[in-house]
């Protein structure tokens, strides 16, 4: 069988290496350095703007690698901010529920109260404190916060070395409005026995799809024109990367899929031809405008993978807990349901994608367990794994900085 599909590669690949030292990633000392050199310095996506639909809405986000709890809130002025979830009086945890909408946070320890913009607005028995205890200097401790599309990013450095726009580079302006006006249809969170690098790597290539997913979605990619399932398009920038997976135009639609998507707009794994979507897609989505486009994978270094389909997207976080454990979080979004048919399509989508995701988790756990024996020093990577090479190149640059 002759392969027809050839990958369109974009970016500077000269700084990448096909062999990566994987053994050291499980070393506690190396892991400690990753936390300091990477996670305390770069912009990290932590929340979705979708969760902050109105002023005074908030979510509480745990950032395991830095042992940090954050309050991400839309203040009364409409500005989104992030603060350490710590009362300035004695250090008690301030917000204990995971999300909500309120005008103020009151500490359950002594009742100190803060507005959602971080101001200290109430001190219990204030006359008993020193006269120089100024409430204006005892508001919640802020974390540098910037918003991009539907994502809230934070930076824990005393002074970020660059803006979020500089950090995202070329990709910053390429997704206008695409992630907005979607409905969250599922959220999952698990602790995987996997190194965080290995976990991210599980979604940075499609080389595994024909094998790992042969029971759940055996023919959603490939086909006569692309039997080895090469990516239609792959691009790296200075820090991030993305690829477009080509759908199989000859795939067999299952009876369940036919029922699920008969009246609703098709979701994973039913991929409409690009010409049939009728969508004015932004330049970053299906960047090569491949007619048999299936979906995109966008890696936002260091811990996020965004899966992008015609009418849906999914956010995947891989937060490190230790050298061999990761806090994995998944959010599925799709068009807003307006009918029973839409709800049926959503139900099938989240069920199928959840099962595919479980297969990936099993692989990342197996790899981490095997690497812990120390027998294997390096992994060797192909051109179809350029996003993995990019991941380790960026990590190495930050570790050497």
In a shared domain, residues 188 and 153: no
7/9 Cα distance (integer angstroms) = 6
161/176 Cα distance (integer angstroms) = 25
Residue 214: partners with Cβ closer than 8 Å, 6 or more residues away? none
In a shared domain, residues 133 and 251: no
36 burial (CB, 10 Å; 0-12 / 13-18 / 19+) is: exposed
What does the pLDDT look like over 50-100, one tens digit per residue? 999 999 999 999 999 999 999 999 999 999 999 999 999 999 999 988 999
In a shared domain, residues 148 and 182: no
**276, part of any domain:** yes
Give pLDDT, residue 274.
76
Residue at a domain's end among 134, 159, 184: 159
In a shared domain, residues 221 and 236: yes
In a shared domain, residues 387 and 335: yes
Once rounded to an integer, what is the mean pLDDT over residues 235-251? Answer: 94
pLDDT surpasses 60 at 3: no
In a shared domain, residues 220 and 320: yes
In the chain, the number of structural domains is: 2
Give pLDDT, residue 284.
96
Neighbours of 391 (CB within 10 A): 24
Q: In what order do the strands lie in the sheet with 57-63?
A: 44-48, 151-155, 142-148, 80-84, 68-74, 57-63, 99-101
Query: Confidence class of residue 338 from pLDDT cuts 50, 70 and 90?
Result: very high
Provide the token pair at 180: 């907005």
For the chain, the residue count is 401
**164, part of any domain:** no
85/400 Cα distance (integer angstroms) = 31
For residue 278, the domain's CATH number is 3.90.380.10
Residue 142: partners with Cβ closer than 8 Å, 6 or more residues away? 81, 82, 83, 118
Kindly report the average pLDDT of the chain as a whole number. Answer: 94
**1, part of any domain:** no
Residue at a domain's end among 107, 132, 159: 159
What does the pLDDT look like over 27-61, one tens digit per residue? 999 999 999 999 999 999 999 999 999 999 999 99
For residue 141, the domain's CATH number is 2.102.10.10
| Domain encompassing residue 383 | 8-40+172-400
Give pLDDT, residue 386.
97
In a shared domain, residues 107 and 210: no
**90, part of any domain:** yes
Query: Confidence class of residue 272 from pLDDT cuts 50, 70 and 90?
Result: confident
In a shared domain, residues 315 and 184: yes
- Spatial CA neighbour of 68 closest among 321, 325, 331: 321
**288, part of any domain:** yes
What does the pLDDT look like over 130-186, one tens digit per residue? 989 999 999 999 999 999 999 999 999 999 999 999 999 999 999 999 999 899 999
In a shared domain, residues 14 and 139: no
Query: Confidence class of residue 1 from pLDDT cuts 50, 70 and 90?
Result: very low
In a shared domain, residues 141 and 190: no
In a shared domain, residues 291 and 395: yes
Give pLDDT, residue 117.
97
In a shared domain, residues 214 and 152: no
Location of structure tokens 């000269």: 14
**167, part of any domain:** no
96/375 Cα distance (integer angstroms) = 44
Query: Confidence class of residue 192 from pLDDT cuts 50, 70 and 90?
Result: very high
Query: Confidence class of residue 232 from pLDDT cuts 50, 70 and 90?
Result: very high
**166, part of any domain:** no
**118, part of any domain:** yes
Provide the token pair at 157: 């450095």
Residue at a domain's end among 159, 182, 203: 159
Q: Give the predicted TM-score (pTM) of the model.
A: 0.95
Give pLDDT, residue 4.
66
Provide the token pair at 376: 């294997």
């Amino acid at each position: 069988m002759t392969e027809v599909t050839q990958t369109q590669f974009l970016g500077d690949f000269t700084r990448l290496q096909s062999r990566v030292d994987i053994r050291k990633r499980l070393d506690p000392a190396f892991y400690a350095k990753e936390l300091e050199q990477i996670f305390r310095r770069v912009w990290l996506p932590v929340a979705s703007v979708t969760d902050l639909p109105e002023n005074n809405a908030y979510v509480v986000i745990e950032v395991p690698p830095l042992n940090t709890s954050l309050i991400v809130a839309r203040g009364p002025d409409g500005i989104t901010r992030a603060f350490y979830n710590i009362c300035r009086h004695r250090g008690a945890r301030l917000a204990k529920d995971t999300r909500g909408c309120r005008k103020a946070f009151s500490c359950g320890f002594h009742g100190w109260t803060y507005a959602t913009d971080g101001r200290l607005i109430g001190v219990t028995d204030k006359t008993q404190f020193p006269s120089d205890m100024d409430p204006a200097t005892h508001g919640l401790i802020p974390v540098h916060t910037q918003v991009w599309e539907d994502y809230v990013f934070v930076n824990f450095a005393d002074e970020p070395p660059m803006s979020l726009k500089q950090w995202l580079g070329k990709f910053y302006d390429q997704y206008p409005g695409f992630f907005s006006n979607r409905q969250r249809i599922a959220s999952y969170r698990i602790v995987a026995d996997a190194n965080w690098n290995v976990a991210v790597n599980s979604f940075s290539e499609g080389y595994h799809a024909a094998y790992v997913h042969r029971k759940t979605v055996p023919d959603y990619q490939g086909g006569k024109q692309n039997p080895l399932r090469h990516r239609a398009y792959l691009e790296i920038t200075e820090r991030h990367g993305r690829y477009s997976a080509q759908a199989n135009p000859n795939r067999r639609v299952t009876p369940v899929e036919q029922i699920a998507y008969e009246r609703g707009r098709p979701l994973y794994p039913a991929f409409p031809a690009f010409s049939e979507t009728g969508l004015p897609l932004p330049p970053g989505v299906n960047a090569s405008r491949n007619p048999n486009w299936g979906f995109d994978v966008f890696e936002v270094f260091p811990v996020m993978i965004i899966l992008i389909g015609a009418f849906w997207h999914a956010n995947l976080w891989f937060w490190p807990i230790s050298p061999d454990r990761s806090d994995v979080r998944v959010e599925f979004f799709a068009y807003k349901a307006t009918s029973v048919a839409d709800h049926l399509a959503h139900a099938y989508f989240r069920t199928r994608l959840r099962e595919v995701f479980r297969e990936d988790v099993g692989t990342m756990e197996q790899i981490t367990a095997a690497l812990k024996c120390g027998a294997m020093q390096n992994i060797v990577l192909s051109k179809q794994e350029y996003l993995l090479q990019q991941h380790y190149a960026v990590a190495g640059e930050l570790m050497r900085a």
